[in-house]
Structure 1
């Protein structure tokens, strides 16, 4: 169903042509997007992998909300981060962890 909550994953890595200045420019925008999501929609777990240039965010949303968030995320980090969103078909870990 379109309005059913599902787990989603956004995987990002720093683009080859991105400068430190580019990263500093988008950082507050991405932080604000995540903060807004957490204050209005629910929990989002995010962080970098050990190698630092790559990161992952996991959240639960309807397909419509996930696509809207990803569109906003893409707008802010396009040209700096290489990023993809996937619907995560693993067990509903976010629902279990949030209880």
Structure 2
């Protein structure tokens, strides 16, 4: 029994026009009706995924989204569940090191 499906957004869930195919919407709807957790995963921030979550019906506190390349996990209502960010100081050090 499938309990969770994690979907990358850009280039996987979304086509080249940033649209979700009707066939995909139907499959996601059916999975949600069967109690499957659908987790959108992206490098985008939460706000960049909200329209797609609404379009797919991923709206409950029991559905989740992984944003910013895994740095933040939220429920579909936006509540932060996990967060693993680096400090600005360390970001600057890493940027300088990379240059």
Normalised by the shorter chain, which TM-score bucket?
under 0.3
Higher strand share: 1
Q: Which has the higher helix share?
A: 1
Q: What is the TM-score normalised by the length of structure 2?
A: 0.28
Q: Higher relative contact order by CA 8 Å / sep ≥ 6: 1 or 2? A: 1
Q: When the two structures are superposed, what TM-score results if normalisation uses the length of structure 1?
A: 0.28
